[in-house]
């Protein structure tokens, strides 16, 4: 649907939120912090506000990446500058309709939470994956959440009409408006969103035509927030996409674990227990191996002790280095390890070795162009490779005079 501009006052996104394209005129352009912007005679793009994110779209051939109100004008932030004059503005409809579903879902959820259960909404946020409302109730049980969700589902099925209209402050004072919170300094007519027979509220956002277009709404999580409860929800097309993602993930897990949906959690818990047991056994074996290897390294005649390992981590290197210098306190030990693309080193010196280990460690790390640090008698770090390992060993031998 295309609309040719000409009306003044109420913008097109408010007059007809289902409008996707509009022939209009660029009346002002500018740049702020390197970001080009344009003001139009009329626009189908909604500026961020009231908990609803801005629309995205196109202005001629330029992408509109954000829309904001600035000193009473709607500024379209652009990927590149445009010239004043006639143009066509179009909305990213998938994004817009998603926001309409989430926002109308929030109105319905808020109205039912208050009207049926007495829980007042104190905040709303429309996020890219989940939206949320904050309810002034300390906690919500699973039964309470199920009752709220069931009540919302019933009103979605009822296909209640959703309408927008403007009224004067005097008219609004005589109407059962749920919330009269307005921006500071606001004056003029109020825009009301009505869910027929259920809710009447001030709002400047875009909404679907009837509750059936919300499609469905699922409460997915809660968390305590400022003495109340934040309730996360997903509605409309997001709900179907989220379900599709969960089904694909479950199918992959069923194939990997060779079990059905009902057993997935139990099988994963069992696997984690087995893994934790294996990890404890590995740590025990590593400690035994470190003790055995430390005894062997401590007996070598050289004052500089060096060894390389594959597949071990930094914790193993530290244990081994400390064990070696404890058994041979006059020695310096350089231990290195490679684990995939990660290359680690540990440098340590015993109490009877008269070297400044932090300074010496800085020199050794410099040989490898590595990063790390330490204090006292041990330094550790990461390097790109051990191509210059022999050079580092030579440096240590010079330092101890051997």
Residue ranges of domains in the chain: 2-91, 97-243, 279-400
DSSP bridge pairs for 233: 131, 219
Architecture field, domain 2-91: Beta Barrel (2.40)
Q: Which residues contact 373 (CB under 8 A, 6 or more apart)?
A: 358, 361, 362, 379, 380, 381
pLDDT digits (tens, 9 = 90+) for 261-311: 999 999 999 999 999 999 899 888 877 887 888 888 888 888 999 999 998
pLDDT digits (tens, 9 = 90+) for 141-192: 999 999 999 999 999 999 999 999 999 888 888 898 887 566 565 667 889 9
pLDDT of residue 184: 60
Q: Quote the pTM value.
A: 0.75
Architecture field, domain 97-243: 2-Layer Sandwich (3.30)
> 2-91 and 97-243: same fold?
no
State the angle between helix axes of 357-368 and 389-400 in degrees (0 to 180), rounded to the nearest 10.
150
pLDDT digits (tens, 9 = 90+) for 244-261: 999 999 999 999 999 999
pLDDT of residue 6: 39
Average pLDDT over residues 338-357: 91
CA separation for the pair 37, 358 (Å, rounded): 54
Q: Specify the fold of 279-400.
A: Diaminopimelate Epimerase; Chain A, domain 1 (3.10.310)
């Amino acid at each position: 649907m295309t609309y040719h501009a000409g009306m003044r006052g109420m913008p097109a996104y408010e007059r007809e939120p289902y409008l996707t394209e509009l022939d209009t005129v660029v009346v002002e352009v500018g740049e702020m912090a390197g970001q080009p912007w344009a003001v139009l005679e009329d626009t189908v793009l909604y500026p961020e506000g009231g908990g609803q994110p801005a629309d995205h779209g196109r202005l001629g051939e330029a992408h509109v990446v954000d829309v904001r109100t600035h000193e009473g004008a709607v500024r379209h932030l652009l990927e590149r500058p445009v010239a004043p004059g006639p143009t066509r503005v179009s909305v990213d409809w998938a994004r817009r309709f998603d926001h309409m579903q989430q926002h109308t879902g929030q109105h319905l959820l808020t109205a039912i939470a208050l009207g049926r259960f007495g829980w007042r909404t104190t905040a709303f946020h429309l996020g890219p994956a989940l939206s949320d409302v904050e309810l002034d109730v300390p906690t919500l049980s699973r039964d309470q959440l199920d009752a709220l969700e069931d009540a919302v589902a019933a009103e979605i099925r009822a296909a209640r009409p959703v309408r927008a209209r403007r009224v004067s402050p005097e008219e609004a004072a005589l109407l059962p408006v749920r919330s009269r919170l307005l921006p500071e300094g606001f004056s003029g007519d109020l825009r009301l969103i009505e869910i027929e027979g259920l809710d009447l509220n001030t709002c400047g956002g875009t909404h679907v035509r009837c509750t059936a277009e919300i499609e469905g709404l699922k409460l997915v999580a809660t968390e305590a927030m400022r003495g109340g409860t934040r309730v996360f929800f997903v509605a409309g097309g997001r709900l179907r996409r989220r379900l599709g993602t969960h089904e694909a993930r479950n199918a992959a897990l069923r194939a990997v674990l060779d079990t059905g949906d009902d057993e997935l959690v139990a099988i994963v818990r069992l696997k984690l227990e087995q893994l934790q047991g294996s990890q404890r056994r590995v740590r025990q074996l590593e400690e035994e191996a470190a003790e055995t290897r430390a005894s062997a390294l401590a007996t070598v005649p050289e004052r500089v002790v060096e060894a390389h390992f594959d597949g071990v981590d930094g914790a193993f290197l530290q244990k081994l280095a400390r064990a070696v210098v404890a058994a041979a306190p006059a020695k310096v030990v350089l231990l290195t390890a490679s684990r995939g693309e990660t290359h680690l080193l540990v440098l340590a010196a015993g109490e009877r070795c008269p070297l400044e280990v932090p300074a010496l460690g800085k020199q050794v790390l410099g040989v490898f162009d590595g990063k790390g640090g330490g204090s006292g008698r041990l330094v550790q770090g990461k390097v790109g490779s051990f191509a210059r390992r022999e050079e580092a060993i030579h440096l240590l031998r010079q330092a101890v005079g051997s």
